[in-house]
Structure 1
Amino acid sequence: MRPLPHHRTLRPDRRPELTLSQPLETLAFTPWPGIGNDIWETVAFPNEGYSYEVWTSVTRDPEATGGLRGGVTVRQGEAIIARLTCDPDTPSQSLDVIYDLKESIGQCWDFTSRSWQTSCG
């Protein structure tokens, strides 16, 4: 197993090494299921046998320290290749806005199948 990469500081004058996009209709967004100590969301972008899963999370306990957290988990198939975590309090907003965007195009989340549906009722 390869060691996970070391922390890399992003420089504003550098172009991204990789840019990924996906149509909202097929975007693999997983909303928080409503249980647990943290409110979290993920969105995954496939690319040439890899998946880049972006996540945000915040603790539900109002007395807990620390704000919004985030990061990226890189997978090749089911194997985790890297886990990258943002510096504390640097994510600008949670991914929950994607839920509203998916609903705005007529999709609804089915908690039983854990998938987005186009026939909501």
Structure 2
Amino acid sequence: MRGLTLGVIALGALAGAASAEGCFGPGTPLFHCTLNGGTKAVDVCLQDDVAYYRFGPAGGAADILLARRAGAVDMRPWNGVGRSIFETATFSNGGYDYTVHYAIDRLTQAHEVTGGVIVTRGGDELADLSCDAGAVTVSDIYPLFEAKEAAGQCWNREMFRWGEC
């Protein structure tokens, strides 16, 4: 399969087009939160078989916007065990990995949702940014799982990794 080589997108035409949930036009918001007291936002969106990662000023042009075919995004589904429901999606770009994560505490009355983004390079953690308290407004990365399956990938529950079906 030919990979999508959009990499970091220059945002000229898209600068003001981002909705609060990070999708440009029709699409499925998978994750949204604000960070740093609401000054920054991180979003993950799925449009057809393309997943988008956006990080930057809330309501402004993105600092980073990555677009990848679903098959190229490393998505980790919840394993079905434990106190928290959690999922991750990792977007790679030029040696850097941007891992968006969220967790829902199943055992509290409020079902608190937390999340953030971890930036690594070569396995070294460069940043671990947590969403503002109560600021995760979209937290369902599972449609990316379905998009990966539609792309011919299967999740191996024993090995905890994706492979061909």
Q: What pairs up with 1:86-105 in 2 under 5 angstroms?
A: 86-91=131-136, 92-105=138-151
Q: Within 2, Cα distance between the matches of 1:39 and 1:95?
A: 11
> Which residue number in structure 2 is paired with residue 7 of structure 1?
36
* Shift of residue 53, structure 1, vs aligned partner: 0.3
Q: Within 2, Cα distance between the matches of 1:41 and 1:77?
A: 22
- Select the residue among 112, 118, 127 that pairs with 1:82: 127
> Which residue number in structure 2 is paired with residue 73 of structure 1?
118
* Shift of residue 43, structure 1, vs aligned partner: 0.7
When the two structures are superposed, what TM-score results if normalisation uses the length of structure 2? 0.60
Q: Which amino acid aligns with 1:68?
A: V
**Could you tell me whether the CA contact under 8 Å between 1:70 and 1:86 is conserved in 2?**
yes
Q: Which amino acid aligns with 2:82?
A: G
**Could you tell me whether the CA contact under 8 Å between 1:57 and 1:94 is conserved in 2?**
no
- More moved, 97-106 vs 79-88: 97-106
Q: Mind listing any 5+ residue stretches in structure 1 that lack a counterpart?
A: 1-5
Q: Within 2, Cα distance between the matches of 1:25 and 1:77?
A: 21
* Shift of residue 32, structure 1, vs aligned partner: 1.2
Q: Within 2, Cα distance between the matches of 1:41 and 1:81?
A: 21
Q: Which amino acid aligns with 1:86?
A: C
Q: Mind listing any 5+ residue stretches in structure 2 that lack a counterpart?
A: 1-34, 41-56
- Select the residue among 73, 76, 81 that pairs with 1:35: 81
* Shift of residue 56, structure 1, vs aligned partner: 1.4
* Shift of residue 51, structure 1, vs aligned partner: 0.7
* Shift of residue 52, structure 1, vs aligned partner: 0.5
**Could you tell me whether the CA contact under 8 Å between 1:75 and 1:81 is conserved in 2?**
yes
Q: Deviations over 1:69-107 (max 9, x none)?
A: 221001122211111111233332321222222233333
What is the alpha-carbon root mean square deviation over aligned residues? 2.1
Q: Within 2, Cα distance between the matches of 1:117 and 1:57?
A: 25
**Is 1:106 paired with 2:142?**
no
